[in-house]
Chains A and B, each alone.
Chain A
């Protein structure tokens, strides 16, 4: 059965305190893994797609990495505006995206 687990559920960081969010997955025929950011009351905002183990992508203070069982979203020197819920979504062989429940990040000034 396809499963996605994100940890931690919630994370509070001081501004400038780097950390990582984890996405563990079991998906048949992985075709890619998506990361999204979601602010309260808004739809998810696309961040990255990773296609193969070992791949990395960066955008400003965010870097996403992928292994065969996990993906990490590294946040370097976060700012308060990085506060949001971060969702990962592996895509299976049938082109279905399976979203995790997300990590709610709060960055304190």
Chain B
């Protein structure tokens, strides 16, 4: 079956702009996670959804970051007033249980 998909694969934007990153999880997976990965680092937790609600958003770095999952499937990570330090690969993962998280290919965000 299809894995986790993320769009766009690459996004280049200018400082101060607003961006939206989309994640389509594996069908039937109730848990969805967003991570951020900088070059040479491991993924850093941002937010975790169980169904439609954010079960844990403690990893969001500040209030410029927001994520939604209105119907318990597709999720959108939204970043307002982007800064150069937001440049990273944004990874989405989904899980049916805690046995394993399955990651998408990521969206590479570059803020100029």
Q: Which residues of A contact B (CB under 8 A)?
A: 4, 31-32, 34, 36, 41-46, 49, 87, 89, 91, 94-102
Contact of B56 among A42, A44, A96 (CB under 8 A): A96
Number of A-B contacts (CB under 8 A): 55
Tell me which residues across on chain B come within 8 A of A31, comparing CB atoms: 98
* Residue B66 CB within 8 A of the other chain: no
Chain B positions within 8 Å of A, measured between CB atoms, are 4, 33, 35, 40-45, 48, 55-56, 58-59, 91, 93, 98-106
Asked whether, in the complex, the Cβ of A34 is within 8 Å of the Cβ of B100, the reply is yes
Q: A49 CA to B105 CA in the complex, in Å? A: 21
Which of B40, B44, B91 touches A43 (beta carbons < 8 Å)? B91
Interface of B is mostly: loop
Known: A96-B58, A97-B101. 19 other contacts (CB 8 A): A32-B98, A34-B101, A42-B105, A42-B106, A43-B4, A43-B91, A43-B104, A43-B105, A45-B103, A46-B100, A46-B101, A87-B42, A89-B42, A95-B48, A96-B59, A98-B45, A99-B43, A101-B42, A102-B42
**Closest 6 pairs (CB-CB, A-B):** A99-B42, A43-B103, A46-B100, A44-B103, A99-B43, A43-B105
Contact of A95 among B40, B43, B91, B98 (CB under 8 A): B98
Residues of B within 8 A of A49 (CB): 98-100
Q: Which residue of A lies closest to B44 (CB)?
A: A99
